[in-house]
Structure 1
């Protein structure tokens, strides 16, 4: 789906960032990003990336 054509009101709300125990960088739980599943899409500008949690509990981010 083209992000530019999506209805912003239909978009799910972003989860809040966790408290910042590691300085000033936001900390996000990968399980929250994936909605409890094993994969999610991440947008950066006009690029779409795939985030995947492996069976071994590692993260893979691909373009």
Structure 2
């Protein structure tokens, strides 16, 4: 797993004006997901792959 997931999410959130809570709910059904990543949480491979794919599908 690469370590660029959180920075990519942050750029996406800024670009589209989406809140971290809404992103977490939409993508992984966890409103705290981005906040937990910011605090050092490391997602499992399946979640990482899912978020990465979601970002690619949505123009990130």
Question: Is TM (by shorter chain) over 0.5?
Answer: no
Relative contact order (alpha carbons < 8 A, sep ≥ 6): 1 or 2 greater? 2
Task: Tell which structure's C-alpha radius of gyration is larger.
Answer: 1
From the two aligned structures, give the one with the greater strand fraction.
1
Q: Which TM-score tier does this pair reach, normalised by the shorter chain?
A: under 0.3
Normalising by structure 2, report the TM-score: 0.26
Normalising by structure 1, report the TM-score: 0.26
From the two aligned structures, give the one with the greater helix fraction.
2
